Amino acid sequence: MSADNMQIPYKIYLEEKEMPRQWYNVRADMKNKPAPLLNPATLQPMTAQELGNVFCDELVKQELDDSNAYIDIPAEILDFYKMYRPSPLVRAYCLEKKLQTPAKIYYKFEGNNTSGSHKLNSAIAQAYYAKKQGLKGVTTETGAGQWGTALSMACSYFELDCKVFMVKVSYEQKPFRREVMRTYGASVTPSPSETTQVGRKILAEHPGTTGSLGCAISEAVEAATCQEGYRYVLGSVLNQVLLHQSVIGLETKAALDKYGIVPDIIIGCAGGGSNLGGLISPFMGEKLRGERDYRIIAVEPASCPSFTRGRYAYDFCDTGRVCPLSKMYTLGSGFIPSANHAGGLRYHGMSSTLSQLYDEGLMEARSVEQTAVFRAAEEFARIEGILPAPESAHAICAAIDEAMKCKETGEEKTIVFGLTGTGYFDMVAYEKYNNGEMTDYIPTDAELEAGLAGLPVIEN
């Protein structure tokens, strides 16, 4: 269903004054709330005080808030948003023509900022609340570097110290992201490092290790909790991050409403679930309140299939098992995707909010293999002009599949997907694809069982 095609421009922009002034908290409209984070020592729900030792106070409030549907976006954050938002909602006319599909395809493009992804939407909010609390700085981990880049931009804006623990192998192999972070004033430490107790312990046990995300998280948490005036921040998975990312969905909905367009299918890639959670939130809200129905599809890599082959259970959020337990679709905190996996979205778990919605059948999930993902990325780059991040290309792949189904059936469905970022720093993965060296690997049931066998045993 949509208005007359001819009226719809290639890019639907909102005016500054039409930007959302509040984030939308989908948990407020959920009948069954996401399960609470548990203290790994006591197995009791984490209290605000316990969370406050690690996270900023205002962010703890947002994390635990299951009842307020709308939360004001502070003016300082709105001012920063105005530098790179509203982001365009693009009608993929050229792609539709190329595919010869009757489907109408739209994408919300979040790559129009220096960090190159949607992660800046939450980074700026988290940095703001840290500054407001009078903190000196924040610590975090980064793998490929998108989150570290976004956070260093946000911290430099608010003049906060930013300490990034970057997985050593990425630190050495991805010098460009590292230097972007340093340009924005962040200190970037290869992890594991000698600067923390846990880092020294890991180095002693595994000399020469190239590190992992789980280990970098453990170091970042220690660096925050052992230094006066520091807190730890995280770029995905948490409820607060989904809340900040709701700006994506609210803008999308406002842009569609301007032209009377009602999507049939909404698609997003899912790593920890923050961009997808943000994109779908206002639509999911309508669905939860019984006002409208949409098909919502999460797309994940076949090599890291948390939703499609994982288990809905309490698990550790990090490999080091120092963080709270979260009830989520998980492959086990020890799960590491196979070495040939190049496309990101490698987190073992998933947002607890999305996990609950998926468990209730309110959204679908599917997995795609990486050669298909890069084929879709290439097709999209050549016709729509934007070189997508491999993560975003998971959503492109599913959107093209749905558009091709419409071609078979002749249905004029309206498809909206999230184009989370650009892929300029992912050219090693593209090189592999271009050289015909990219392979697919789907973990066997036995391999997944081994990861799931390590789940903590919890009565609930």
Ligand X SMILES: *Cc1c(COP(=O)(O)O)cnc(C)c1O
Q: Decide: is 236 part of the binding site for ligand X (CB under 6 A).
A: yes
> Among 389, 398, 406, 415, which residue interacts with ligand X (rule: CB under 6 A)?
389
Q: Decide: is 152 part of the binding site for ligand X (CB under 6 A).
A: no
For residues 41 and 339, what is the distance between their CA atoms, to the nearest angstrom? 33
- Residue number with CB closer to ligand X (10 or 424): 424
For residues 194 and 199, what is the distance between their CA atoms, to the nearest angstrom? 6
Q: Pairing between strand 265-269 and 295-301?
A: parallel
Interface of this chain with ligand X, residues 321 to 380, rule: CB under 6 A: 345
Q: Decide: is 143 part of the binding site for ligand X (CB under 6 A).
A: no
Tokens of 6: 């001819």
Q: Decide: is 305 part of the binding site for ligand X (CB under 6 A).
A: no
Helix (H) or strand (E) holding 243: helix 239-258
CB 113 to ligand X: min, Å: 11
Q: Decide: is 126 part of the binding site for ligand X (CB under 6 A).
A: no
- Residue number with CB closer to ligand X (135 or 376): 376
| Inter-residue contact 266 to 416 (CB < 8 Å) | yes
CB 254 to ligand X: min, Å: 21
SS3 content of the chain, % helix, strand, coil (to 5): 45, 15, 40
- Residue number with CB closer to ligand X (263 or 271): 271
Size (the chain), residues:
460
Task: Select from 16-24, 62-70, 283-291, 385-393 the region that touches ligand X (CB under 6 A).
Answer: 385-393
- Residue number with CB closer to ligand X (196 or 420): 420
Q: At what angle do helices 274-288 and 239-258 cross, to 10 degrees?
A: 60
Interface of this chain with ligand X, residues 420 to 449, rule: CB under 6 A: 420-421
> Among 273, 310, 324, 451, which residue interacts with ligand X (rule: CB under 6 A)?
273
Binding track over 39-58 against ligand X, x by CB under 6 A: --------------------
CB 365 to ligand X: min, Å: 12
Q: Which residue is nearest to ligand X (CB)?
A: 421
> Among 392, 393, 397, 417, which residue interacts with ligand X (rule: CB under 6 A)?
392
How far CA 131 is from CA of 21, 82, 375, 423, in Å, comes to 21, 19, 43, 31
Q: Decide: is 274 part of the binding site for ligand X (CB under 6 A).
A: yes
Task: Give 56-61 contacts, CB < 8 A, sequence gap 24+.
Answer: 56/126, 56/129, 56/130, 56/133, 56/135, 56/231, 56/233, 57/129, 57/133, 58/129, 58/132, 58/133, 59/126, 59/129, 59/233, 59/240
Look up residue 287 and give its DSSP letter. Answer: H
- Residue number with CB closer to ligand X (274 or 414): 274
- Residue number with CB closer to ligand X (313 or 395): 395
Phi (first) and psi of residue 136, to 5 degrees: -85, -35
CB 70 to ligand X: min, Å: 22
- Residue number with CB closer to ligand X (231 or 394): 394
| Inter-residue contact 88 to 12 (CB < 8 Å) | yes
Q: Decide: is 117 part of the binding site for ligand X (CB under 6 A).
A: yes
Q: Decide: is 416 part of the binding site for ligand X (CB under 6 A).
A: no
> Among 25, 142, 146, 191, which residue interacts with ligand X (rule: CB under 6 A)?
146
Interface of this chain with ligand X, residues 180 to 219, rule: CB under 6 A: none
Q: Decide: is 275 part of the binding site for ligand X (CB under 6 A).
A: yes
> Among 263, 272, 337, 343, which residue interacts with ligand X (rule: CB under 6 A)?
272
Q: Decide: is 270 part of the binding site for ligand X (CB under 6 A).
A: yes
For residues 385 and 266, what is the distance between their CA atoms, to the nearest angstrom? 22
- Residue number with CB closer to ligand X (414 or 420): 420
Q: Is 388 helix (H, G, I), strand (E, B) or coil?
A: strand
Q: Decide: is 240 part of the binding site for ligand X (CB under 6 A).
A: no
| Inter-residue contact 77 to 125 (CB < 8 Å) | yes
How many Å separate Cα 106 from the centre of its chain? 20
CB 89 to ligand X: min, Å: 17
The candidate with the shortest Cα–Cα distance to 147, out of 168, 166, 131, is: 166
In sequence order, which residues have a C-beta less than 8 Å from that of residue 431 and are 6 or more positions away? none
- Residue number with CB closer to ligand X (95 or 389): 389
- Residue number with CB closer to ligand X (12 or 304): 304
Which positions lie near ligand X, rule CB under 6 A? 117, 119, 146, 236, 269-275, 345, 389, 391-392, 420-421
